[in-house]
Amino acid sequence: MTERNRYPGYDVLVKRHSPSWNEATRRVMDARLGVPREPRFLSRIEWDTLVAICDRIIPQPKNRPPVPLAAYIDQKLKADARNGFRNAALPPQRAAWQIGLAAFEVEAHQLHGKAFHHLTTAQQDDLLRRVESGRIDAPAWGDLDAALFFSEHIMGDIIAAYYAHPTSWNEIGFGGPASPRGYVRMRNNRRDPWEPVEAGPGEEARVGRENRRVR
């Protein structure tokens, strides 16, 4: 996959020892970056399905280490960390994920005779869209409202995990953690030296050099 890097050379982690990061932030980010890459709550089958789903919800470029999205979902389920509210039509999140992942497998086998993670990306996307719009027929879903499960958990949990990761901040040019040092220049088109520069087409090399000085 080739895609334009809008903030070439920018690495928010370089600021780790700058005044932009405090001790609490370093503690939290160390834990985030050190997440175990193996399932601790989900079964191996559920994990494989989840990894494949994550790859479609947030397809990641091959030229950098991927954000281990499935690991964050597994971690959230293991800790049973919740959001503080649950649509009454859904079971608690652990049950929702387990039923949902199993149902994906059943659907994949019914439609294509293969495990979900062995489907082509087009087949995976197609199945995801069916679930998203509630066009499902496998009894494996039981009482689970598939469309709701898709928006609350598949999208909600996976996307939140991705944009909580420094790699995604580099991608969108987010300044990242900011305490005690915040920002000085508030108006449009103004940049503090610890913020990344955006590269227009063809400017990648020059901007890359500038962004490597951001700290």
Partner 1 sequence: MANTTSPSGAARTTLTLLGSLTGAALLGALHSHARPPPATRSPAKAPVPDPAAANRAARRLNRAAGTLAASVLFDSTVEHYRGQFQNRAMYTPLVTAAMALGVSAHGTMDERQTPHVVRDTVYALISIVGLVGTGFHLFNVRRKAGGFSWQNLFYGAPLGAPMAIGLSGLLGYLSERVRETPPGQVPMIWGLPAGRVVGVVSGLGITGTVGEAALLHFRGGFHDPFMYLPVTMPPVAAIVLGRSALGPAGIARRATRWWLRATAILGLSGTAFHAIGVGRDMGGWRNWQQNILNGPPIPAPPAFTGLALAGLAALGLLEDHPDD
Partner 2 sequence: MYDNPLTTPRATHGRAPDVFHPGGWVPMREYPQREAVDFVVIGTGAGGGPLLARLAERGYSVIGFDAGPYFRPLEDFASDETSQSQLFWTDERLVDGANPLKMGANNSGRAVGGSTVHYAMVSLRFRPEWFRSRTLLGYGADWPLDWREMWHYYARAERDLAIAGPVSYPWGPKRPRYPYRAHEINGAAEVLARGAEAMGYQWSETPLATVSAPRGDSPSCVYRGFCRVGCATNAKQSQLVTYIPRALAAGAEIRDMAMVGRIAVDAAGRACGVHYHRNGAWHFQAARNVIVAGYAIETPRLLLNSATDRFRNGLANSSGLVGRYLMTQSNQAVYGVMDDMVRWNKGPPSLTITEHWNYNDRKDFHGGYCWMAQGPLPVEWSAAMSTSRRLWGAALREKMGDYNHQVGLKMVGEMLPHLDNRVTLADETDRYGLPIARVTYSWHDNDKAMIQHALGEMQRSLELVGVRDLWRQENDTNHLAGTARMGFDRETSVVDADCRSWDIPNLWICDGSVFPTTGGVNPSLTITALALRTADRICVQARTGEMRK
Listed in sequence order, the residues at least 6 apart from 40 whose beta carbon sits closer than 8 Å to its beta carbon are: 74, 75, 78
Taking CB under 8 A as the criterion, the residue among 36, 142, 156, 193 binding partner 2 is 156
Alpha carbon 113 to chain centroid distance? 28
Residue 125, binding choice from partner 2, partner 1, none, Cβ under 5 to 8 Å by partner class: partner 2
Contact 157, 90 (CB under 8 A): no
Burial of 77-115, coded b for 16+ CB within 10 Å and e otherwise, reads beeeeeeeeeeeebbebeebbbbbbbbbbebbeebbeee
User: Is residue 59 a contact point for partner 2 (CB under 8 A)?
Assistant: yes
> Which residue lies nearer to partner 2 by CB, 110 or 151?
151
**122 near partner 2, judged by CB under 8 A:** no
Q: Residue 33 binds which one of partner 2, partner 1, none, with CB within 5 to 8 A depending on kind?
A: none
Nearest CB to partner 1, comparing residues 17 and 206: 17
CA distances from 82 to 8, 76, 93, 183 (A): 35, 8, 8, 32
Q: Which stretch binds partner 2 (CB under 8 A): 104-112, 136-144, 187-195, 206-214?
A: 187-195
Residue 164 near partner 2 by CB under 8 A = yes
Least separation, in Å, of the C-beta of 179 and partner 1? 8
Partner in contact with 110, chosen from partner 1, partner 2, none, beta carbon below 5 to 8 Å by kind: none
The answer to whether the CB of 32 falls within 8 A of the CB of 165 is yes
